[in-house]
Amino acid sequence: MSCSPFDLKDYFLKELPDSERRQVEGHVRECRQCREELERLRRTEASLFALREEEIPQRIAFVSDKVFEPAPWRRWLAAFWGSAARLGFASAAMLSVAILVFALTRPSATASITPASVQAQIQAAVDKGVHESELRQSVRNEKLVADILNRERGEMASAPDVIQYQERRLGTVEGAAYRQSSGVGGPQ
């Protein structure tokens, strides 16, 4: 506590201007409480400077650290995945092994290919394509014929209705005579 209008900490740390510093010094000579506060600040500083400097530990070790320490194989795996050089070497080795296995296990394709077998494969593919094309065309033709027949049947079925409509429209005997002479829509 300080009864001075100035902060004793600022005075102790020499952060006050000269005029205010002189006022604090005069007050400290007269006030017992401020003198004691200033003395406590000096003792605190002296005890802090008396301590030896030590490096701050990065991590505090606990008894339970060995329990939570990863297994050796996990440490190795973490070190392996953390190293780009090791990963690069491992991928190159795997690629080399794959190429070697492929080269040793593939069948010899050059001995079985002859011009006659190539020609036979081409001819089989052409025959298959022609057969599929003819099959598609015949399906389209059948559908087209069925559509035409259905349309003609529909027109033929509606012909008597059209004639009766024309007769009613004309309202003449000529329509009836036409119907009898053509044999369409009348009794036979």
Task: Answer yes or no: do 87 and 131 share one domain.
Answer: no
Task: Answer yes or no: do 177 and 140 share one domain.
Answer: yes
The verdict on residue 62 lying in a domain is no
Task: Answer yes or no: do 45 and 91 share one domain.
Answer: no
- For residues 2 and 41, the answer to whether their CB atoms sit within 8 Å is no
Determine the pLDDT at residue 179: 64
The verdict on residue 58 lying in a domain is no
Look-up of token digits 């014929």: 145
Closest CA to 22 of 36, 4, 48: 4
- For residues 12 and 41, the answer to whether their CB atoms sit within 8 Å is yes
For the chain (188 residues), the mean pLDDT of every run of 10, in chain order, is 70 87 89 90 89 76 67 82 87 94 78 81 94 94 89 76 72 61 57
Helices 115-170, 173-182: inter-axial angle, 10-degree rounding: 140
Task: Answer yes or no: do 129 and 177 share one domain.
Answer: yes
Note the pTM of the prediction, 2 decimals. Answer: 0.30
- For residues 29 and 49, the answer to whether their CB atoms sit within 8 Å is no
Number of domains making up the chain: 3
Task: Answer yes or no: do 92 and 39 share one domain.
Answer: no
Task: Answer yes or no: do 126 and 172 share one domain.
Answer: yes
**What range does the domain containing 36 cover?**
8-50
- For residues 186 and 177, the answer to whether their CB atoms sit within 8 Å is no
The verdict on residue 2 lying in a domain is no
- For residues 87 and 80, the answer to whether their CB atoms sit within 8 Å is yes
Task: Answer yes or no: do 127 and 95 share one domain.
Answer: no
- For residues 6 and 26, the answer to whether their CB atoms sit within 8 Å is no
The verdict on residue 125 lying in a domain is yes
The verdict on residue 133 lying in a domain is yes
Determine the pLDDT at residue 72: 82
Determine the pLDDT at residue 188: 44
Residues 91 and 2: their CA atoms lie apart, in Å, by: 73
Residues 70 and 146: their CA atoms lie apart, in Å, by: 79
The verdict on residue 143 lying in a domain is yes
Task: Answer yes or no: do 101 and 121 share one domain.
Answer: no
The verdict on residue 64 lying in a domain is no
The CA-atom distances, in angstroms, between 151 and each of 106, 155, 156 are 62, 6, 9
Determine the pLDDT at residue 150: 84
The verdict on residue 18 lying in a domain is yes
